[in-house]
Amino acid sequence: EKGAEFRQPMAVAVIGGLITSTLLSLVLVPVVYEFVDDFENWLKPKLAKLVTPREAAPVPAPEDRL
């Protein structure tokens, strides 16, 4: 078809964009989500140890001296 050589670069860009967005949405995003979820599950117990207050040593009751 006449003029197809004029539209070819746009077609290559569109098809490349479709392929790239498909790979990103179907492969890369779920993989990154799993890494972030695993990191969160690994980090949560470590942060809980830092935030959880420790029990204080019992303070002896004062003796009544009169």
∠ CA 48-51-52, rounded to 5°: 80
Residue 40 belongs to a domain: yes
pLDDT at 66 over 80: no
Biggest alpha carbon distance in the chain?
Answer: 113
Is pLDDT above 70 for 1? Answer: no
Q: Would 39 be classed as within a structural domain?
A: yes
For residue 17, tell me if it sits in a domain.
no
Instruction: Write the pLDDT tens digit of every residue in 12-51.
Output: 999 999 999 999 999 999 999 999 999 999 999 998 888 8
Domain extent for 47: 29-53
Total domains, the chain: 1
pLDDT at 12 (0 to 100): 96
**Can you give the pTM of this predicted structure?**
0.55
User: 8 in a domain, yes or no?
Assistant: no
DSSP, collapsed to helix, strand or coil, labels residue 59 as: coil
